[in-house]
């Protein structure tokens, strides 16, 4: 069975974080463009891959994986040579899971709620992230020791958390605190990040010409 990853995405979507992760992993992949403006994500061919009609999705060794956090976690484990996740028997594994899930369950919804100017919940405890202020303060505390969220070692958690931080500041939905700015700048200097950005721009340009 081929080890090539089929990557369904659009260059202007949440799939950007998976594209970056694929470059970090270094495994062979094929980018299958799903044109969101043309509604291709709701066409039968793609719904057969992801019935939610969302991107991104990957198919690897006959298995479909959706949801950015799940894909990043899967890829880190599927390609251990890239050393993007602590070993299963490492105490750091729990911390790694903690921040992966924090990014998806707390940071992203808090940032999206702020971006869309949604009113604060009358019962913050009913929200998975509680309140925006606590989420941002927790994120800042986690990143302060640096240079990465697990300390000295870069991991898939940085791809996922770093993507949320970069997006949040770009959309002015996350306060540009020095810790966040320094963290984002550090990640954007990585060769894999630069490769994904260049490839993404090329794909976007090709879509405009089509």
- pLDDT classification of 1: cutoffs 50, 70, 90: low
Residue 61 covered by a domain: yes
Burial 54-80 (b: 16+ CB within 10 A, else e): bbbbbbbeeeebbbbbebbbbbbebbe
Give per-residue pLDDT as tens, 132-163. Answer: 999 999 999 999 999 999 999 999 999 999 99
| Domain co-membership, 124 together with 147 | yes
Domain assignment of residue 113, given as a range: 92-191
Q: What is the CATH number of the domain that holds 111?
A: 1.20.1050.10
pLDDT digits (tens, 9 = 90+) for 82-128: 999 999 999 999 999 999 999 999 999 999 999 999 887 767 777 88
194: its two tokens: 């630069």
The residue among 46, 61, 83 that closes a domain is: 83
Task: Evaluate whether 11 touches 56 at the Cβ level (below 8 Å).
Answer: no
Give per-residue pLDDT as tens, 177-201.
999 999 999 999 999 999 999 999 9
């Amino acid at each position: 069975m081929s080890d090539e990853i089929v990557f369904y995405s659009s260059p202007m979507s949440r799939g950007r974080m998976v594209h970056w992760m694929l470059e970090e992993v270094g495994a062979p992949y094929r980018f299958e463009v799903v044109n969101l403006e043309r509604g291709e994500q709701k066409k039968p061919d793609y719904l057969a891959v992801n019935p939610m009609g969302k991107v991104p999705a990957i198919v690897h060794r006959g298995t479909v994986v959706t949801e950015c956090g799940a894909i990043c976690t899967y890829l880190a484990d599927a390609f251990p040579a890239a050393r993007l996740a602590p070993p299963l028997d490492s105490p750091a594994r729990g911390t790694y899971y903690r921040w992966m899930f924090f990014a998806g369950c707390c940071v992203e919804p808090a940032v999206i709620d702020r971006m869309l100017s949604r009113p604060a919940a009358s019962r913050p405890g009913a929200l998975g992230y509680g309140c925006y202020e606590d989420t941002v303060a927790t994120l800042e505390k986690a990143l302060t020791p640096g240079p990465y969220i697990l300390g000295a070692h870069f991991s898939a958690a940085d791809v996922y958390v770093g993507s949320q931080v970069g997006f949040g500041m770009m959309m002015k939905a996350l306060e540009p605190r020095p810790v966040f700015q320094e963290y984002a700048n550090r990640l954007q200097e990585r060769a894999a990040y630069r490769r994904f950005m260049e490839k993404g721009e090329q794909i976007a340009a090709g879509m405009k010409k089509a």
